[in-house]
Amino acid sequence: MNNQTTTIDTNVLNGLSNHEIGEDHLFTGLETPMKKDAFKLSDEEKKAKISILFEEIMDVIGLDLKDDSLKGTPERVAKMYIDEIFSGLNPANKPKVALFDNKYQYNQMLVEKEITFYSNCEHHFVPIIGKAHIAYISSGKVIGLSKLNRIVQYYAKRPQVQERLTNQIAEELKFILGTDDVAVIIDAKHLCVSSRGIKDDTSTTVTSFYGGSFNSSAKITELQNYLKL
């Protein structure tokens, strides 16, 4: 079955510099780029190292680290990075999901909309703030509603590109639910656009994934009517 996904010509990528790729918000694959030894250090060791490095950044830009308001900032940033906003990088934090039999024999689309998430742009490490809308048609199993939220949060809590985030959520749901009949729509505001560069505070970005039976104009229209997009 065909899925509507974003594809990028690798020859085009090879002709672009890293700066150009970053500014154009392209991404090179479904998986988040990770080093092979990404988990060689424990979380506590990572926090200790980040704290030292972030203290250096603060010192370089001229902040007085002896000030009461600033002296704890390196440790706070390190804890925030590892335990909170980038916790989705660690597979140990992946939500555990249980499925249930579709005893009600509900065979229409189930939609959970307006799932708020906070992520970070991997090009500038500034926030992406958005809403995710998820729909699926049961193949015989259903998932607890809160688990849909948790899957969104898990993939959002890492340096991201919105196209990749959309596809990662969709592929995870397809795998868990055992069906291609999955749709994901994300509408997000990128602070790398609104707070720097062009400084456009009104624009948002919409990305979508339509799999299986959602690859029909009738189903897309039905879903969009539910979402009132």
Any idea what the CATH number is for the domain that residue 71 is in? 1.10.286.10
Catalytic residue among 25, 75, 112, 124: 124
For residue 143, give the CATH number of its domain.
3.30.1130.10
Is 121 among the catalytic positions? yes
Is 224 among the catalytic positions? no
If asked whether residues 82 and 114 sit together in one domain, one would say no
Catalytic residue among 121, 133, 168, 171: 121
CB-CB contact of 129 with 121 (8 Å): no
If asked whether residues 104 and 62 sit together in one domain, one would say no
Confidence grade of residue 228 (pLDDT, cut at 50, 70, 90): confident
Angle at 210 between CA 205 and CA 214, to 5 degrees: 135
If asked whether residues 199 and 131 sit together in one domain, one would say yes
If asked whether residues 185 and 83 sit together in one domain, one would say no
If asked whether residues 222 and 118 sit together in one domain, one would say yes
If asked whether residues 82 and 144 sit together in one domain, one would say no
Is 25 among the catalytic positions? no
Q: 121 CB contacts (<8 Å, ≥6 apart)?
A: 127, 128, 159, 160, 161, 190, 191, 192
Query: How many CB atoms neighbour CB 174 within 10 A?
Result: 18
Catalytic residue among 153, 160, 162, 168: 162
If asked whether residues 211 and 138 sit together in one domain, one would say yes
Question: Is 19 among the domain residues?
Answer: no
If asked whether residues 107 and 206 sit together in one domain, one would say yes
Q: Which helix (H) or strand (E) holds 152?
A: helix 145-156
Tell me how far apart the alpha carbons of residues 4 and 212 are, in angstroms, rounded to a whole number. Answer: 9
CB-CB contact of 161 with 25 (8 Å): yes
Residue ending a domain, choose from 67, 89, 111: 89
If asked whether residues 108 and 129 sit together in one domain, one would say yes
3-class SS at 146? helix
Catalytic residue among 122, 163, 171, 172: 122
Catalytic residue among 55, 163, 171, 192: 192
Question: Is 14 among the domain residues?
Answer: no
Structure tokens at 199: 């400084």
If asked whether residues 85 and 110 sit together in one domain, one would say no
Question: Is 12 among the domain residues?
Answer: no
What residue numbers bound the domain in which 191 lies?
99-227
Question: Is 221 among the domain residues?
Answer: yes
If asked whether residues 51 and 116 sit together in one domain, one would say no
Is 124 among the catalytic positions? yes
Report pLDDT for 4.
Answer: 47
CB-CB contact of 228 with 197 (8 Å): no
What tens digit of pLDDT does each residue of 23-52 get? Answer: 455 555 899 999 999 999 999 999 999 999
If asked whether residues 66 and 169 sit together in one domain, one would say no
What tens digit of pLDDT does each residue of 62-110 get? Answer: 999 999 999 999 999 999 999 999 999 999 999 999 999 999 999 999 9
Tell me how far apart the alpha carbons of residues 61 and 57 are, in angstroms, rounded to a whole number. Answer: 6
Question: Is 151 among the domain residues?
Answer: yes
Q: Which helix (H) or strand (E) holds 185?
A: strand 182-190
How many domains does one find in the chain?
Answer: 2
Question: Is 30 among the domain residues?
Answer: no
DSSP 197: T
Question: Is 70 among the domain residues?
Answer: yes
What tens digit of pLDDT does each residue of 190-209 get? Answer: 999 999 999 989 999 999 99
Is 192 among the catalytic positions? yes
Question: Is 58 among the domain residues?
Answer: yes
CA-based torsion, 207, 211, 216, 219: positive or negative: negative
Residue 74 to residues 47, 48, 123, 203, Cα–Cα distance (Å): 9, 9, 21, 33
